Structure 1
Amino acid sequence: MWDNWEILQPKKLSANLDIYIGCMTGTSADNTADFTAATFDTEGMPICFKNFPITIPEQLNLHLLTLSKANRTEILRTEANRLETQLTNFFVDAFLIVIKKLNLLHYPKTKIILSPHGQTLEHNPLDKNYYTDIIVNGPMLAQKTGYKVVTQHRQAPLVVSMAAPLAPVLIKKLFFDPQKNVVLINGGGIANITILNKNDPTKIIGYDTGPANAPIDSLIHYLLDQNLINVIPELLRKPISEHRFDVDGKLAESGAIIPKLYKALRAHEYFSRKVKAKSADRADFDIYTWILPQLKLLSLAHLSWIDIITTISAIVADSIADAINNSLTAITDNDSTTKVIFYGGMSHNQYIIHRIQTQLLEQAKFEFIDMRKLNYIADYFEALLMAYLGFCAHHKIAIDLNYCAREDVTHPFAIPGVVAFPAT
């Protein structure tokens, strides 16, 4: 039954393992939901896994993007509830497709646990009445599929921490190296980094550095919606129209940075926050509140849209590189080499990746490693994370959130999810 799975621990394979199927749709709100089915040993180390992409229906994806915009407070809660039902019905169909593709229709239903993240509409851990608004209906998904479902991965962590990013809890298990410091860079809608200290596996640095794909994707959607496709170079129009994002960063590569706009946008207060308060929301870098007003204020509306996209892409890269250099200062000696691993959708944007690499190499010694060489898949790592959080919640294992803990919390541990059961 494990044909074509990625096998990491062959001696631990058996025919009665619990199988956790994670799903990540993320903050970039692209048109793909990433699914990873995985099994874990008693220590939470992956035994094997298999990945699947499922396309989100176009109309549903457009609704998700609409509710993810900064003006979403104007939208009735009933509309969000309706969208949650629509998204959950998509998950019902998608999970059943994945289960069928895995040839698990006859596998005991009690041994399969579904663990979707859901779609983040808003995440605000710094508000006095902190909250996270993620839509997916766990009980409905459990009832309609007949499988146990883990959702609400961030609600309990939010009580003791920023609850984002959550990736460091798995990264420290898989990538710690006692010989070298390790940096993992993730770019979905929002970018985050995890830094593992070679001298102490408990001293983890992990936080959101700022924007990643979200504002770039939104600008491209804006151009397409405003029928401004002709501003895009002819050779790039077809792939950008089809995918609705800057494929491989080719658009950014074709433009130039606008210094005045770069300086104004880099003045965003988020970039100067304390590290433990750095948990970003897509709306923090929404084009309608961050970019377009600056174009008007600086009288830059006449400038090339391509140059604007290049400028935003440069800010994404520079904010990540600056965060890494600043965070490594206290733990890196001059002679040591730091390993860097990229994952997430941004890892395909060659303009951003090359700019990050160039800036890092100007400051210290870095070794850039393809996640695939470490037996994991960059595009699906967050889906694997969701499977792992499902494993933790199912077994009532609390995760350590010291790296993003609230200042007044002395024991920042929480169980990352709530289990919903189908009727028996």
Structure 2
Amino acid sequence: MKRIAFISEHASPLAVLGGIDAGGQNVYVGELARQLAQKGYAVDIFTRRENKDYPRCLRWMQGIRIIHIDAGPPEQVEKERILPYMAAFRDDMLRFIREEKMDYQLIHANFFMSALVAMELKSILHIPYVVTFHALGHIRRLFQGDQDRFPPERVAIEEQTMAAADAIIAECPQDREDLLTHYNALAEKIAVIPCGVTPEEFFPIDKQLSRILLRLPQDERILLQLGRVVPRKGIDNVIQALAKLGSGQHKTRLIVVGGDAHPTQHNHEAQRLRMLAKELGVAARICFVGHKNRDELKYYYSAADLFITTPWYEPFGITPLEAMACGTPVIGANVGGIKYSVVDDVTGKLIPPKDPEALAGAINQLLANPEKREAMGEAAVNRIRKLFTWQQVAGRMHKLYETVLAHQDSRTIKAAI
């Protein structure tokens, strides 16, 4: 049995999805680990302790443990403020490995801070590592500018960990291009392996039934926005587009899933979006329903006529996959992973980000053509099942691990000779 260590310092599979720092990476780590365990791997997921009552070692499911590492206060800390605690993370993880006499064959780091720990453990224990960055500091800075609150040394850490990594996982072709162009990463180290979706979790459900279960009106056109309520997700773009829809679309409702249904003063983005909706005269046509459990999401995706996601940038984006798996066409920003997963005019529409006019035009076009939407929905389900299931992702990851370990073995043999 191959034993591997996942490091995901701020994104535990146990985290509540839809919060400020919880989202796609949490899903990625949990689902990939689950599929690898089914392939016979023993997976330990190392993540920072966010609650003093969490056990040190938790058996999450067959073949998977979650190890809580003491690094900084045992409470939730914004990921932008975690870097100073990563030396303590490394030391406590090293302590666990030595005390438990663990023999990991490979480390899979997630995010740049986890990669920093993996690089240092490789130096100490000679364990090879692969890394999925999930987002790149240089790209984030290009789009967010002064709003980027990560420490300035992030980019240097990414460069160092790329150089030391045995393999780098790009989640889409744009991610690979960014690694090559902005970081001069070695092309032979990069493997493009996308995120996925679980067909048993996300699948088409009758639209009328979904709306009955969610108590949504049957006679309205429903647009869905689902994900973290943060500025870069472009929810304001969707609200602005709603205000620009033609007069025939006044029975169109936007449902926003994510964040809190009743935002507090600490959630400035949610407050800003509500104020914007009020100013544009569409507040009555928008429902902020807050966080929903994952087992509820398939009903929202299936109830919607269109799923909309128009972020400024998106390293990959799992929600378009989930919507497509439920047979709902996606109108997405032509950026990052979205332009890889969504096929323009086949499974949805690709439009420029920050362009409410273009978004309103795409919404009008598709709402006026139910036959087109139905064909897109069928094409979307087929595309997901062909290319984007977690089982397929884990299969490709397994091959990458095998390649890395084979190269490691050959280096060991040469060193011994």
Fold match by TM threshold 0.5: no
TM-score (norm. length: structure 2):
0.33
Question: Which of the pair has the greater relative contact order for Cα pairs under 8 Å at 6+ separation?
Answer: 1
Which has the larger strand fraction? Answer: 1
